[in-house]
């Protein structure tokens, strides 16, 4: 997969397009600026596909034209930013997981399939400073639906989506030593109740536990409640042991893009700048929802694999409004196509790992395609 991506032919300065016709860089920049000047509610999204430095320029551009920013992944729901600003949450780096965790719980995720290097290099197999035996020194538990990861775990707790909230309420109550109606809990959780009690006891006895979450846990329809309850469970446990929550997020830079937007607007993930000041509406302001409801009249986006996961209603709207696409892939379609150098291949900068660890990128190949940061800066200068 990586070889195919790395060896794909790069774009160059000869690949600027306006309505699928060849154009110069200056003409394409003018066309992009004209689209944004005419728009009343332009949307900037797909920001996780570019560097954090470029995202800062995108925020400047959105501020200039009164646009809407969405740095969140369109289909991976991650309310971490909101939880950090409300109840707080204990997190950790991948290095801490590798060197400290003797109990790893995978909840609603399948890293053996989606993040195989996570399993091999950080969470399960590697030796660490305080885990000299590697896999033999760790107890691994899977929660949720059966998959390749749960088959490789030492224990598995089968839990349906409808049982998730009840299980989290029970864990939070046990950690905070609050009474529970055992009969009602048994009726809700069934066979999962006793394994959950045993897991709670094992967590209390562990030296360092980590709860690794995926999209099976972070379900959009459940909102931020599951993560909020889990954060409330982990916090009081630090009176007896140590541990953290870690999320298996998609790459390459959705975490970094969200951090940049939050630092500039004060709001996690995204904000509307159409009124001259940042406005935050996480339930109704996502890019997918705005597109589906046709509440935007132009779009500036960075292409990536996330586009393949967009709902049909959002894709339909993108086909009806003027679009400016920054891409390093041939055969892409947009009203204005701006070829850019690939981050981490032909362009440097900074991207953040799934644990929010910023990593410097070094350019490994030469290309005459301009960096994305320069493209955004050129549009911004044209609008000055």
pLDDT tens digits, one per residue of 172-193: 999 999 999 999 999 999 999 9
**Could you tell me the pLDDT band of residue 237, with boundaries at 50, 70 and 90?**
very high
> For residue 336, what pLDDT is reported?
98
Handedness of CA 330, 336, 341, 342 (dihedral sign): negative
What DSSP string runs through 26-79?
Answer: HHHHHHHHHHHHH-SSEEEE-GGGS-HHHHHHHHHHHHHHT-EEE-S-SSS---
Question: Rounded to the nearest 5°, which phi and psi values hold at 178?
Answer: -105, 150
80-247 and 10-76+252-382 share a CATH fold:
no
Q: Where are the domains of the chain?
A: 10-76+252-382, 80-247
Determine contact, residues 73/301, Cβ cutoff 8 Å.
no
Question: Rounded to the nearest 5°, which phi and psi values hold at 130?
Answer: -110, 5
> For residue 9, what pLDDT is reported?
67
**Could you tell me the pLDDT band of residue 221, with boundaries at 50, 70 and 90?**
confident
For residues 193-211, give the mean pLDDT: 98
- Closest by Cα among 11, 39, 14, 38 to 27: 14
Determine contact, residues 374/367, Cβ cutoff 8 Å.
no
Q: For 88-144, what is each residue's pLDDT tens digit? A: 999 999 999 999 999 999 999 999 999 999 999 999 999 999 999 999 999 999 999
Taking the domain 80-247, which CATH number applies?
A: 3.40.228.10
User: In angstroms, rounded to a whole number, what is the distance separating the alpha carbons of residues 280 and 166?
Assistant: 30
pTM, 2 dp: 0.93
| pLDDT at residue 5 is higher than 60 | no
Strand 21-22 relative to strand 208-213: parallel, antiparallel, unpaired?
unpaired
Among 84-93, 137-146, 148-157, the least confident range: 84-93
Fold exhibited by the domain 10-76+252-382: Rossmann fold (3.40.50)
CA distances from 223 to 68, 97, 217, 337 (A): 22, 27, 10, 35
> For residue 283, what pLDDT is reported?
80
Higher local confidence (pLDDT), 6 or 87: 87
> For residue 135, what pLDDT is reported?
98
For residues 259-281, give the mean pLDDT: 95
**Could you tell me the pLDDT band of residue 4, with boundaries at 50, 70 and 90?**
low
């Amino acid at each position: 997969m990586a070889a195919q991506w790395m060896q794909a032919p790069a774009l160059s300065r000869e690949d600027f397009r306006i309505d699928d016709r060849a154009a110069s860089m200056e003409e394409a920049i003018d066309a992009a600026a004209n689209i944004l000047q005419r728009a009343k509610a332009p949307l900037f999204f797909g920001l996780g596909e570019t560097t954090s430095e470029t995202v800062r320029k995108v925020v400047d551009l959105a501020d200039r034209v009164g646009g809407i920013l969405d740095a969140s992944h369109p289909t991976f729901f991650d309310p971490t930013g909101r939880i950090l600003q409300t109840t707080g949450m204990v997190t950790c780096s991948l290095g801490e997981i590798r060197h400290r965790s003797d109990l790893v719980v995978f909840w609603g995720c399948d890293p053996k399939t989606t993040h195989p290097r996570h399993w091999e290099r950080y969470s399960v197999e590697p030796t660490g400073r305080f885990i000299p035996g590697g896999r033999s020194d760790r107890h691994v538990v899977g929660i949720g639906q059966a998959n390749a990861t749960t088959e490789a775990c030492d224990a598995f707790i089968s839990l349906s989506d409808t049982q998730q909230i009840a299980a989290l309420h029970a864990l939070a109550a046990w950690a905070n030593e609050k009474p529970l109606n055992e009969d009602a809990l048994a009726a809700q959780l069934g066979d999962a109740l006793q394994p959950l009690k045993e897991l709670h006891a094992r967590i209390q006895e562990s030296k360092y536990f980590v709860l690794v979450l995926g999209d099976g846990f972070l379900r959009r329809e459940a909102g931020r409640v599951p993560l909020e309850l889990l954060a409330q469970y982990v916090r009081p446990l630090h009176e007896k042991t140590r541990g953290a929550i870690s999320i298996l997020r998609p790459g390459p830079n959705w975490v970094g893009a969200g951090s940049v937007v939050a630092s500039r607007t004060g709001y996690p993930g995204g904000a509307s700048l159409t009124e001259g000041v940042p406005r935050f509406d996480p339930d109704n302001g996502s890019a997918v929802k705005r597109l589906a409801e046709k509440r935007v009249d132009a779009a500036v986006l960075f292409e990536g694999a996330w586009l393949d996961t967009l709902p049909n209603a959002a894709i339909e709207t993108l086909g009806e409004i003027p679009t400016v696409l920054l891409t390093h892939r041939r055969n892409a379609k947009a009203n204005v196509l701006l070829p850019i150098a690939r981050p981490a291949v032909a362009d440097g900068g900074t991207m953040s790992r799934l644990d929010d660890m910023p990593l410097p990128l070094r350019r490994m190949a030469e290309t005459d395609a301009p960096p994305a940061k320069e493209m955004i800066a050129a549009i911004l200068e044209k609008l000055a």
